Amino acid sequence: MTPHPAPPPGPRDNSQAVLLLRLAGPLQSWGSRSAFNRRETNGEPTKSGVIGLLAAAAGHARQEPLDGLLPLRLGIRVDQPGTLLRDYHTVSDYRGRPLPQAGVSAKGLQKPTSPAKHTHVTTRYYLQDAVFLAAITGPRDLLHTLDEAVRAPAFPLALGRRSCPPTQPLSRGLREGNLEDVLREEPWQASRRAREQYAAQCGREHGLDRPLYPARIDRSVTIEDPQGDDVLHDSPMSFDPYARSFTSRRVRHGWLRIPTGFPQPDTTATDGQDDAAGHDPFALLGW
């Protein structure tokens, strides 16, 4: 498929907007580091993974510079954390040759295994049934182009790894407002089953013989912020296979009370506190 064209010449709308992506699928894997035969996954999407998805949708080759995408600011909301899966995985050389070891010779070549080993066992981790809401803020014209690209991608899209395709619809379109406000007001994106299980649990916790449907629920967020108190080394500088590089960015972690989107939410709780069923006591501590 051909890359998506750049916006036509003429007046450009440089006002800020927010593009929302619902990142969901049977499996996701957002690794920010790997060592030999171990492939980790973070608990939420990395900036390199989200920028890589957008670049693939727009038809960018791996060697192309990322200048237009690097200034975009990212926010991640964890709507459904999912569970961790450890995959038993083996690798071998399709030509039947023994596998090399991690050590290299003086000439920079990998040394052969001794005794010869034809199969390696690798450990790979994935997130199962997770749902995230990614919010990307930047110039409106650029985000409009990326929104169209995500809806009709030039290259196949993946949730961190090629073996992890996303479910549809992926794009939720453009929104007005700042990053945090958009993440606060977009309805909960968890699966229908997870939402119903949550409502049933809320009912049991309040001693009811029916589900309790709160109007809002607390969800954790990670927002890119130059004044943030945490540092993540996951901002891509280049995806070139021979010159991949990353840099650090500052983020802040917190909680937002978001609308659940239930058709007829309970606006009052049995203990007299609004939306008590959706309250997380650790939210006050910033955890």
- Does this model's pTM top 0.85? My answer is no
**What is the number of alpha carbons within 13 Å of residue 72 lying toward its C-beta?**
31
136: Cβ contacts below 8 Å, ≥ 6 apart? 18, 19, 21, 50, 54, 72, 73, 74, 75, 143, 146
pLDDT digits (tens, 9 = 90+) for 2-33: 555 555 455 566 799 999 999 999 999 998 77
Q: What is the pLDDT of residue 41?
A: 92
Cis peptide bond upstream of 214, omega within 30: no
Count CB atoms within 10 A of the CB of residue 223: 21
Which of the pair, 284 or 267, is modelled with greater confidence? 267
Q: Which two tokens stand for residue 223?
A: 């927002």
In angstroms, the CA 251 to CA 248 distance is 10
76: Cβ contacts below 8 Å, ≥ 6 apart? 44, 45, 132, 133, 134, 135, 221, 222, 223
Q: What percent of the chain has pLDDT over 90?
A: 66
Q: Is the per-residue pLDDT at 105 higher than 90?
A: no
Domain boundaries defined on the chain: 13-91+124-177+218-256, 187-215+260-287
In angstroms, the CA 207 to CA 242 distance is 60
In angstroms, the CA 248 to CA 235 distance is 6
Q: What is the pLDDT of residue 95?
A: 86
262: Cβ contacts below 8 Å, ≥ 6 apart? 195, 199, 213, 214, 215
Q: What is the pLDDT of residue 217?
A: 95
CATH 3.40.630.30 fits 13-91+124-177+218-256, yes or no: no
In angstroms, the CA 58 to CA 152 distance is 9
pLDDT digits (tens, 9 = 90+) for 50-80: 999 999 999 999 999 998 899 999 999 999 9
pLDDT digits (tens, 9 = 90+) for 198-219: 999 999 999 999 999 999 999 9
